[in-house]
Amino acid sequence: MNIMLDRFTRYGAIDVLTFIGQWPDRQALRAEAGDLTDMADRLGLRAMCVSHLSSVLGHDTRTGNEELFAAAAQDVRLWPFPIVNPLEAGWKEELDWAVSRGARGIRLVPGYHGYGLNENGLQELLNEVRKHGLPLQVCARLQDERLQHRLLLVDVVDLHELAELIMTADGHPLLISGLRDHERDLVMRNVTSDSKIRQVLFDLWFCNGPLAVIASICRAGLAQSYAYSSCTPLQTAEATALQLSSSDIGEEERIDLIYGNAMRLFK
């Protein structure tokens, strides 16, 4: 075991953003269920919130979602987060089917599916997800814009629309993924103070660049607002784990970031 990861692996992290499948423009960016199982063993993970990349860039979401549930049946640590596209005809039936198969949350990729969070169908989707009592995850981005293939350029989700979604959700558990730390601040400036933000978590995979960013987040009193994520296989799984293991933060803050905050959304 890598001793540099010891303060991460000892607690049993929940990774709130992983995928199985193949990213289209990089041969190395792929993972099968067995790869995630190996990763869970290596990093001591207790769970991974996982979707299938075919539901992001395929012709429909069902094909990837079916593969997702087949993979999740192989390892109880794979928590299926099927992807729903509100622009697809029959998305509500897809959501009901996913719930019947044991979905642990629902994931949206608006930039890849071509809709805004302020479009009419989103309120109906949020109501349906709320009815099923599942966390809703919105991926603001999956890749740094500088790494995108020129034929796969995707806009980041509008920050004002994320703020509006938080207020509309009114305490329903939300995971917002793929923002830089300063983008999170911009979102929250537009959220009214009476919004129930304790059930809103941002993830760490895209704000782990500067060495001390996690310590900075904790010094700002935001240790309760973030959760560990790797964005596997698009990113190296150990990157954020090493940051969490080495950050100069309190041990209670480390535990909250590694798994405690995420657990809050699944109660």
Q: How many Å from the N-terminal Cα to the C-terminal Cα in the chain?
A: 31
pTM attached to this predicted model: 0.94
Question: Could you tell me the residue range of the domain that residue 180 belongs to?
Answer: 3-264
Mean pLDDT, the chain, integer: 92
- Whether the pLDDT of residue 195 is over 70: the answer is no
Helix axes 62-72, 91-100, angle to 10 degrees: 10
Helices then strands, counting H and E runs in the chain, come out as 13, 9
The answer to whether residues 243 and 236 touch, using CB atoms and an 8 Å cutoff, is: no
* Tokens found for residue 246: 């080495």
* Tokens found for residue 56: 């992001």
Reported as type and span, the H/E element at residue 22 is: strand 14-22
- Name the most confidently modeled range: 26-30, 101-105, 146-150, 236-240: 101-105
- Whether the pLDDT of residue 52 is over 70: the answer is yes
Please give the tally of structural domains in the chain. Answer: 1
- Whether the pLDDT of residue 193 is over 70: the answer is no
- Tokens 């959220």: give the residue: 191
The CATH number of whichever domain residue 231 belongs to comes to: 3.20.20.140
Distance of CA 136 to the CA centre of its chain: 9
- Whether the pLDDT of residue 212 is over 80: the answer is yes
Mean pLDDT for 116-121 is 87
Give me the sign of the Cα torsion angle 11, 15, 21, 26: negative
* Tokens found for residue 212: 């001390």
Percentage with pLDDT > 90 across the chain: 77
- Whether the pLDDT of residue 181 is over 80: the answer is yes
pLDDT value at residue 196: 67
The answer to whether residues 94 and 88 touch, using CB atoms and an 8 Å cutoff, is: yes
- Whether the pLDDT of residue 9 is over 90: the answer is yes
Residues 11-51 have pLDDT tens digits of 999 999 999 999 988 888 899 999 999 999 999 999 999 99
- Whether the pLDDT of residue 258 is over 90: the answer is yes
* Closest CA relative to residue 29, chosen from 239, 229, 178, 233: 233
Q: How many CB atoms lie within 10 A of CB 63?
A: 13
* Closest CA relative to residue 65, chosen from 78, 55, 76: 55
Mean pLDDT for 183-206 is 86
Helices within the chain (DSSP H only): 6-9, 33-43, 54-57, 62-72, 91-100, 110-113, 120-132, 159-169, 181-189, 213-219, 238-246, 251-255, 261-265
